[in-house]
Structure 1
Amino acid sequence: MTTTSASDDLDRWIRNDFVALNTRLEEAYFAADAQILHGRPELETVKRRIGSEGAELVGRITESGAPRSLPTGDDERYELLGSVGFYLGACRRHEIEGPQSAAWPLAQLLGSSLGVVPRFVFAHQVLYNRAVGDTFRTFTALDDERAFLLYNGLSMLAYQRTAAALRRVPALGVSSPLTAYLLREARSGLDDVLDLGRTLSKTLDVDRFFLNIRPYFKAHRVGGVEYRGVNGGDFAAINSIDVLLGLCSPYDPFYQALLTEKYPYLPPEDQALLRATGTAEPLLDAFVREATAGPITPQLRDNAELFLTVCRLHGAASAFHHHRLVVPFLQAPAARAPQEQGQGQESEAADLTTSGPPLHVVMGTLARLVDLRTARQRPGTDGGGSARPSLDRLRYALDAAPRSGLRTDDRSTDDRSTDDRS
């Protein structure tokens, strides 16, 4: 049997029997309002099938001559890593122990060859998830999982569109008429991010997400190492936007630690983009420099006000995600979550997040990121790291300069209204 056919067999199983088996378990958990059930013979049989069938299919790939016979293209190997990772993620979710160790050597080999972690990440679920017959790979057949992946995937595309536009601005200069086109493209992308977030918040069922989708994102071991779980922000685009706008600094120890931690969880091509983050002058610095040097030309004013709108929208999208998706879909249900069978309160609390640290630590980190992206200075602090002083300088320079020959198609550009909780 060739590696190609063995990989195809695994892919078909992931798209068919694997989905059916997981769905059967999730429906039972949901009916019992439990995160997992143990000791029910009919469900233990389903779990054993997931463990043994997946191990057998992965074993066929390794027996066919890996690494010599593995796909040579990065995209094909990355997709195969996703398939193996789906299997390992399901084993972790259902607490299946034993069979999954057969997949560890292949996952480690694929991960090391690509320079990424040897587990599935969010990229495998959204932007690197080839559809067959209109259907992309999922863990279950639940409508909520499909909606979660669809709207988050579209948001990632919108973020990438925004980042691609902003990356081209430094070479043109902030007063170029071509820059106005790129800033309008960035504004459009962030408008889409906000719209998609609002749609997801209205579509996704809180209990379904917490009980039946979130558990697949948990941290799990591959070999002797435990790798943190899935994070929807594991793409370079959002960090490129942070830094290019000037709202976050790659020299800030807090932000630098986040970039370093997420690096191996990015797709290979995103790693190169993340490495390049911070090499260009932040657009905020460039706008402040030109606006304060004067005179402020009509084009520079138009571009600066478009830029402030992009900053406002980026902050609003971050605030909306935190307050309307993370808090109600993770923090709130965690407070009333049923205790998992066989686990104490300490173990259960440590298992609520996908990132490893306890929930309150994760929420604190996310809240600080929102503060940076909205340029909010927390009361009682010196505002260190916040872009608010520079944004205020730019706004003051625009307000103080006379308006002449101004033409703008921009809507409201009040960058101070960043906390979108609607």
Structure 2
Amino acid sequence: MSVVTDLNRWLATDFADTNTFLEEAYFADRAEIVYENIDLDQRKRALRDDGAALVTRIGDVEGDPYDLLGAVGLYLAACRRHEVDVPESAQAVAGRLGVALGVAPRFVFAHLSTHNPAARTFTRLPHEQAFNTYNGLAVLGYDRAAAALRRVPSVATSLAGALYEEALAGLEAVLDAGRALAAELDGARFFLNVRPYFKPHVVCGTEYRGANAGDFAAVNDIDLALGLCDVGDPFYQRILVEKYPYVPPEDQPRLRTPPVNLLTLVEETGTHTEKFLAVCRAHGAAYAFHHHRLVVPFLAKPAENVPPDRLARLTASGPPLDVVLATLSRLVDLRAARDRPGTAHGRLSDLRNGARPQVSDRRGSGLPR
């Protein structure tokens, strides 16, 4: 039996059982983590040592290296969550896999959703399962919409309308997944028992930011295809550059090759304007819902009750929480084309009112006039 098989079996049994036991103990104390408890401390160390014994046996990659990186990454993230140091020999395995793949040497959200054939989880808690499932469904909806929008410039005008309808259906599925998650997820459980697994951690001396449910390329495809964001905008460019090592390898070329700007195309041709605008509205609505009904109540509000001694270290994935929230708020403005500086609000208003752009505006920048 291979070490990879042994590792996967451990992740599905003792690993998930130990994490679940610890999370229930933390939640009973209404704390993110409990210190100086002999039984809990022993379980934390056992998880670290048992996992290290398996991970350090991994030699040449067997099977899918990205899947294996996810398995090793879940172990590293759990150690970080329980605040036990990972042996350098185990970190080195993740480092080697990450270098070979050209990605960050840690688990990312894809390893729990769209790239998770073994259905791995950290715990057996239904709240984690709901978070993974509904966010995964949202990713699939975004993928569906992005694939349709990328095809619009290459098909006959008579077929483009069907692609806009396909994109709209994908974005409506994203909103449906968000609504289901908001209804099912318990805020305290998410904040205390799910979020901590997504923290930054150190691999081979370098700290890598935490996993983020937005680490996939499709949402950026949609931003750029609809002309709501611009790769020339320094703010948005930083988003793309920072995200690059954390998306699956097959997503990386999509971040390097922006799609055709359909806003400019619709301005110039006047075709399928209403369907295009409907897709823009759906994209903004799905993301605004995510921000106001998931990020704010499940992350920002609970953070108000964090003890002062832990508040300075509180983060969603890496930067201080207030910085993360400001970035997400700006993305809401852009994706919903709100009447703010630097958004596509003016151009979309012109489309709705039937105005045609001036020649100097036909640059495809996605920026307002």
Range of TM-score over shorter length: over 0.9
Q: Distance in 1 between matches of 2:32 and 2:320?
A: 18
CA contact (8 A) 1:288 1:393 kept: no
Contact 2:228–2:343 (Cα < 8 Å) also in 1: yes
Distance 1:366 1:109 in 2: 32
Alignment of 1:97-112 (within 5 A): 97=85, 99-112=86-99
Cα distance in 2, alignment partners of residues 277 and 118 from structure 1: 26
> Does the CA-based 8 Å contact 2:316-2:324 persist in structure 1?
no
**What do the CA deviations read for 1:297-352 (whole angstroms, capped 9, x no partner)?**
xxx2xx21011000000000110000000000000000012x3xxxx63xx22432
Q: 1:12 aligns with which of 9, 14, 32?
A: 9
1:306 aligns with 2:306: no
Cα distance, 1:354–1:102 mapped onto 2, change above 3 Å: farther
Correspondence 1:356 to 2:318: yes
Residue pair 1:349, 1:358 contacting (<8 A) in 2 also: no
- Percent identical pairs in the alignment equals 55
Letter in 1 for 2:31: A
Aligned to 1:204: 185
Letter in 1 for 2:348: L
- C-alpha contact (below 8 Å) 2:337/2:343 kept by paired residues: yes
Report the secondary structure of 2:202's partner residue: strand
Contact 2:199 / 2:211 at 8 angstroms: preserved in 1?
A: yes
CA distance in 2, matches of 1:179, 1:166: 9
**Residue 166 of structure 1, aligned match among 130, 135, 149:** 149
Aligned match of 2:35: 38
Q: State the SS of the aligned residue for 1:397.
A: coil
CA distance in 2, matches of 1:100, 1:178: 56
Pairwise CA distance, 1:181:
0.7
Q: Shift of residue 358 of structure 1?
A: 1.4
2:352 corresponds in structure 1 to 395
1:189-200 alignment, distance < 5 Å: 189-200=170-181
C-alpha distance in 1 between matches for 2:281 and 2:102? 35
In the other structure, the counterpart of 2:360 is none
Q: Deviations over 1:151-192 (max 9, x none)?
A: 11011001000000000001126xx11001100000001111
Alignment coverage as a number of residue pairs? 356
In the other structure, the counterpart of 1:297 is none
**2:107 alignment partner, one of 115, 120, 127:** 120
1:116 and 1:264 in contact (8 A); partners too: yes
Matches of 1:366 and 1:59, distance apart in 2: 38
Could you tell me which residue of structure 2 aligns to residue 376 of structure 1?
A: 338
**Partner of residue 236 from structure 1, selected from 213, 217, 220:** 217
Q: Which one-letter code corresponds to 1:103 in the other structure?
A: A
CA distance in 2, matches of 1:398, 1:201: 39
Does the aligned pair in 1 maintain the 2:148–2:166 contact within 8 Å? Answer: yes
Whichever residue aligns with residue 247 of structure 2, its letter is L
**Does residue 97 of structure 2 align to residue 84 of structure 1?**
no
* 2-structure distance, mates of 1:79, 1:350: 34
Residue by residue over 1:19-73, the C-alpha shift from the partner in whole angstroms, topping out at 9 and shown as x without a partner, is 0000000000000001001111110111011010000001221xxxx3xx223x6
Measured in 2, the distance between the counterparts of 1:357 and 1:150 equals 26
Q: Secondary structure at the match of 2:294?
A: helix
Residue 275 of structure 1 deviates from its aligned partner by 1.1
Name the residue aligned to 2:286: 317
Unaligned residue ranges in structure 2 (runs of 5+):
357-369
Q: Which amino acid aligns with 2:61?
A: L
Secondary structure of 2:35's partner? coil
Query: Using the alignment, how far apart are the partners of 2:316 and 2:210 within structure 1?
Result: 4
Measured after TM superposition, the shift of residue 354 of structure 1 is 3.2
Q: Is contact 2:141-2:174 (8 Å) kept?
A: yes
| Aligned partner of residue 80 in structure 1, secondary structure | helix
- Root-mean-square deviation over aligned CA pairs: 1.4
**TM score, norm. by length of structure 2:** 0.94
TM-score, normalised to structure 1's length? 0.82
- What is the CA distance between 1:398 and its match in structure 2? 7.0
Distance 1:218 1:393 in 2: 43
Counterpart-to-counterpart distance in 1, 2:180 and 2:75 = 30
The equivalences for 1:312-351 within 5 A come to 312-337=281-306, 339=307, 345=309, 348-351=310-313
